[in-house]
Structure 1
């Protein structure tokens, strides 16, 4: 019991003193996760909006695939990206394996389906509500997509935050493609796993505290944005 109390006390001290190693790990985690989420939003929001608004042959199959991809196993994604970026892979010449870029690619693959699937549902609901109005204005497909994305911006931001929650808590894929290299690719989740196995509970707990705070902040922001979206359409 005393060991755990001491570990918690040391963890709190690391956080409050802004320990340089702790700060470096947190900043890299945020850089990787925010970069992957930004790319996923640029790709997933227009894709989800297009599928949600348009009607075309095979649309149901596309929706089923988008929903299924939300449950991609992280270790499988990590393995595929590893094979693509390894020296023997098609992208090996770029030397991206065991770099933050490789971690961003892996997280992008995991997050993009979440953003696209959730945004598809939001835009589809909005299109059912405003589709007749858009047709009366003779709005083209691009104008309609842009209008619905803007109109559903608060609910769509909730989808983006869900993607960020997935990214920041990811460990399997980033461990495979990043290698958990000190001062280079070591992020919060991989450090927690490593330090726990080494018995260094103070650093692991400190990072765990920060992860919990981030998760709570994301959930709070999602709830606020959802409320704003409901009031907008209420």
Structure 2
């Protein structure tokens, strides 16, 4: 018990001493997750809107596929992208493997189904008269869709926050595509795994505390938006 309490105290001291290794890991995690969720929003929000508004043959199959992608293990995503970015892969000539760009690509693929599913649920739960009223007033389909997004804006924000919370805490994609390189691609999760295996329990615990604080803030925002 004394070991845990002493380690916890040492971890808190390490955090507030602004240790550079801790700062770099936190910054890399926040940077890659933020960029990934922005890119995921560019693709995921339109996909969710399209599936929510359109009725066509095969729609149910696409929704099932989207739900399946949400449950896909991160190591599988990492494996596929590793094959694309490796030197023998089709994108190997760009040298993207073990760079932040590769990590962002993997996290984006991980976040897109989450964002799309949340937006789809928001569209299904929204008042469909918004679209009909906008079209009656002379709006184009695109303008009507923008109006619908304004109506479900809190749901869209919740989708982005949920996606951010998912990618910042994953380890499979970050480890396989980033390589856990010190000062470059080492995130909080990969640093925790590495340092704990080396016996640096206090360092791993300090990053775990920061990660928990980030997760708490994300979930507080998510709950607030869902209530609104």
Alpha-carbon distance in structure 2 between the residues aligned to 1:87 and 1:140: 47
Partner of 2:217: 217
Partner of 1:38: 38
Alpha-carbon distance in structure 2 between the residues aligned to 1:12 and 1:6: 10
CA contact (8 A) 2:118 2:155 kept: no
Partner of 1:231: none
Partner of 2:180: 180
Alpha-carbon distance in structure 1 between the residues aligned to 2:61 and 2:169: 30
- Does 2:202 align with 1:202? yes
Kindly state the Cα deviation for residue 227 of structure 1 after the two structures are TM-superposed.
2.2
Q: How does 1:48-197 map to 2 (within 5 A)?
A: 48-126=48-126, 128-197=128-197
Kindly state the Cα deviation for residue 118 of structure 1 after the two structures are TM-superposed.
1.0
Secondary structure of the residue aligned to 2:71 is coil
Q: 5+ unaligned residues in a row in structure 1: which ranges?
A: 229-234
- Comparing 131-140 and 146-155, the one that deviates more: 131-140
Over residues 87-136 of structure 1, what are the superposed CA-to-partner deviations in whole Å (9 max), with x where a residue is unaligned?
A: 00000000000001100000001000100111011112225353432343
Alpha-carbon distance in structure 2 between the residues aligned to 1:72 and 1:138: 42
- Comparing 48-57 and 164-173, the one that deviates more: 48-57
Alpha-carbon distance in structure 2 between the residues aligned to 1:67 and 1:127: 23
- Comparing 152-161 and 57-66, the one that deviates more: 57-66
Partner of 1:232: none
TM-score for both structures, normalised by structure 1: 0.93
- Comparing 52-61 and 165-174, the one that deviates more: 52-61
Runs of 4+ deviating beyond 4 Å: none
Over residues 34-75 of structure 1, what are the superposed CA-to-partner deviations in whole Å (9 max), with x where a residue is unaligned?
A: 010110011101111111112222211111111111111100
TM-score for both structures, normalised by structure 2: 0.96
Alpha-carbon distance in structure 2 between the residues aligned to 1:176 and 1:208: 20
